[in-house]
Chains A and B, each alone.
Chain A
């Protein structure tokens, strides 16, 4: 015996009697019948429209639930509005409580705000500008809070959470090494391949080494690492802080008189600031290695020749330009991730939104920062 086999669809039959019309309902007047139930109730009103007196007989109804009771009541109400007198007959006691509980009433819908497309468009535009400004303001004030709490911690070194910092460095730095090495070897190899391929036409394929050296050390190493870390660790920080916020763990810290910035955010942001230059260095080496392999294999430049060409092409400052940028990128990623994490509201949806916005914003800001640094270094001729 299956569950479905027990169902019998809701039906009614119509007989004309002396006093008027009798509608005998039968079957299961329950929500399981889905649209069948609705159609049947609707048909009931349609068929009885012209009559003056209707008797609804519930004797044959095998099951009734709130949906069925509601629809019967709604049909009664609609008939009554058309001046049809309606009476119920053979109502079992348990059905009568149900019918009473589900008596027809109109639920007033909460007032909808003015729905004007242009109005909404303009108000959304204004709202998003105001939000963006607010965001910027919050970002700056958050940076201030972070710096002041760093100064506070620096004056009381024993309060610094070293264990937590080390854990973060492991999570953010150490565990990212394989993926950072992998993508940078590949990017170094691709740049080398393209360089050789394009420069060969001018007979200048040995300049490929300068291309790789300068491009990787100044820009690509730090940029790729920052973007990777924004996606990998920035999202993790936002999600972690966001779920702590949802579970009131952040509030628990506050009422203990502890600062979330000091306890939660400082170790993460410092972990990023320490990890990112190291990862950038590793990324640089990996990309140079990738470039070297391809130059050797594809361009016929031996590793010894590669090394001496590289030495001519770059100076210490080429390397430093890349590395100097790394801690600033880390600060931007860390602050955006923490800020968005703490801005999480109660819902799971909001957490998802915050993580997305954190990653998008940090990658965007990393590229903007890189541009600003490019202008800066060009103007100081470094």
Chain B
């Protein structure tokens, strides 16, 4: 790995004053005698869509869960919004946790609540607003993620896979977070649904000025909405930067990933249509 810079980030070097929203330094996470994340460094900048890729079992989920505080880190520092979460008092920690939204891979909607109640859950628990406004905001979020109004009173078990993802995204956006974590948002969706979802994430990211941390296996998502891509292997970031940089990399895993049977077709198409590529506008909040 020494031949390859473990932390290559062209964009950051060009614009050193960009606001870092998540910074991970020398992170080590393990379970029992197995270390999954081994000294990982990663920065997420405000207003960008970062795609995190990596083979199965290379630490993508563990990294996400460590940033979210669901698994303890053995060593290293994670700073979110410039704060070390572990050093915060419980109240401050809760406030910090309200500034992000998470879309879990299988939605993780509360099965005993309707879609509307699911979206209202974070508002109900943390904000003192009238039921009338809560209803309006829930319906607004529902419309933002492209669900029909009659989905509001349905239970998660009555929804299709794509609708579950949309409803879960609406819940993640309930408090207008600055930062959104998406765990494989397009997995289990058909190509049309996946493309729509990508587009939705792109639109919402621009409208709401979101920073998006997206774990994905979907090469289409990487091409269409990610500003930067971080590739994980063996518990480290082997490369991070705009997709073009990663495409040119000669790291064996990246070559196999982007220029393999599936990736190759897409990267060829990507180079052909480079001019028409969708590009998110820089947003501030």
A joins B in a complex: yes
Chain A residues close to B by CB (< 8 Å): 2-4, 30-32, 34-35, 37-38, 63, 65-67, 70-71, 74, 94, 97-98, 101-102, 107-108, 110, 345-350
Contact in complex: B175, A347 (CB < 8 Å): no
Contact in complex: A66, B157 (CB < 8 Å): no
Chain B residues close to A by CB (< 8 Å): 81, 83, 92, 95-96, 98-99, 110-112, 123, 127-130, 133, 135-137, 139-141, 144, 149-150, 152-153, 155-157, 173, 175-176, 206-209, 283-285
From B92, B137, B155, A70 is in contact (CB under 8 Å) with: B137
Contact in complex: A107, B141 (CB < 8 Å): no
Contact in complex: A31, B284 (CB < 8 Å): no
From A3, A30, A102, A346, B81 is in contact (CB under 8 Å) with: A3
Say how far B12's CB is from chain A's closest CB, in angstroms. 23
Contacts of B152 in A (CB 8 A): 110
Q: How far, in angstroms, from A349 to B155 measured CA to CA in the complex? A: 11
Contacts of B135 in A (CB 8 A): 107
Q: List 28 A-B contacts (CB under 8 A).
A: A2-B95, A3-B95, A3-B96, A4-B95, A31-B137, A31-B176, A34-B128, A35-B129, A37-B129, A38-B133, A63-B285, A65-B176, A66-B141, A66-B144, A67-B129, A94-B283, A94-B284, A94-B285, A97-B206, A98-B207, A101-B144, A107-B136, A108-B149, A110-B152, A345-B157, A347-B111, A348-B110, A350-B111
Contacts of B149 in A (CB 8 A): 107-108, 110
Q: How far, in angstroms, from A63 to B209 measured CA to CA in the complex? A: 11
Q: How far, in angstroms, from A107 to B136 measured CA to CA in the complex? A: 7
Contact in complex: A346, B111 (CB < 8 Å): yes
From A2, A31, A66, A98, B127 is in contact (CB under 8 Å) with: A31
Contact in complex: B150, A110 (CB < 8 Å): yes
Known A3-B83, A348-B112; 13 more pairs at CB < 8 Å: A31-B123, A34-B128, A35-B128, A35-B129, A38-B129, A38-B130, A65-B176, A70-B136, A97-B207, A101-B144, A101-B207, A110-B152, A348-B110
Q: How far, in angstroms, from A3 to B96 measured CA to CA in the complex? A: 7
Q: How far, in angstroms, from A4 to B88 measured CA to CA in the complex? A: 12
Contact in complex: A67, B157 (CB < 8 Å): no
- Nearest 6 CB-CB pairs, A to B? A346-B157, A347-B111, A349-B112, A65-B176, A107-B139, A34-B128
Q: How far, in angstroms, from A348 to B110 measured CA to CA in the complex? A: 8
Q: How far, in angstroms, from A287 to B227 measured CA to CA in the complex? A: 74
Q: How far, in angstroms, from A35 to B127 measured CA to CA in the complex? A: 8
Contacts of A350 in B (CB 8 A): 111
Q: How far, in angstroms, from A345 to B133 measured CA to CA in the complex? A: 32
Contact in complex: A102, B99 (CB < 8 Å): no
Q: How far, in angstroms, from A93 to B127 measured CA to CA in the complex? A: 28
Among A63, A65, A345, A350: residue with most chain B CB under 10 A: A65
Say how far A44's CB is from chain B's closest CB, in angstroms. 14
From A2, A37, A101, B92 is in contact (CB under 8 Å) with: A2
From B128, B136, B157, B209, A94 is in contact (CB under 8 Å) with: B209
Q: How far, in angstroms, from A348 to B156 measured CA to CA in the complex? A: 11
Contact in complex: A3, B112 (CB < 8 Å): no
From A2, A4, A35, A70, B140 is in contact (CB under 8 Å) with: A70
Say how far A352's CB is from chain B's closest CB, in angstroms. 9
Contacts of B144 in A (CB 8 A): 66, 101
Contacts of A4 in B (CB 8 A): 92, 95
Q: How far, in angstroms, from A32 to B149 measured CA to CA in the complex? A: 26
Q: How far, in angstroms, from A34 to B206 measured CA to CA in the complex? A: 25
Contact in complex: B127, A346 (CB < 8 Å): no
Q: How far, in angstroms, from A34 to B122 measured CA to CA in the complex? A: 12
Contacts of B128 in A (CB 8 A): 34-35
- Chain A residue with minimal CB distance to B141? A66
Contacts of B283 in A (CB 8 A): 94
- Chain A residue with minimal CB distance to B144? A101
From A38, A67, A74, B176 is in contact (CB under 8 Å) with: A67
Say how far B51's CB is from chain A's closest CB, in angstroms. 23
Contact in complex: A349, B123 (CB < 8 Å): no
Contacts of B99 in A (CB 8 A): 3
Contact in complex: B127, A348 (CB < 8 Å): no
Contact in complex: B133, A67 (CB < 8 Å): yes
Contacts of A348 in B (CB 8 A): 110-112
Contacts of A70 in B (CB 8 A): 136-137, 140
Q: How far, in angstroms, from A63 to B178 measured CA to CA in the complex? A: 12
- Chain A residue with minimal CB distance to B155? A347
- Chain A residue with minimal CB distance to B152? A110
Contacts of A2 in B (CB 8 A): 92, 95
Say how far B62's CB is from chain A's closest CB, in angstroms. 23
Say how far B167's CB is from chain A's closest CB, in angstroms. 14
From A74, A110, A345, A347, B153 is in contact (CB under 8 Å) with: A110
Contact in complex: A66, B112 (CB < 8 Å): no
Contacts of B157 in A (CB 8 A): 345-347
Q: How far, in angstroms, from A135 to B139 measured CA to CA in the complex? A: 38
Contact in complex: A66, B92 (CB < 8 Å): no
Contact in complex: B137, A66 (CB < 8 Å): yes
- Chain A residue with minimal CB distance to B133? A38
Contacts of B207 in A (CB 8 A): 97-98, 101
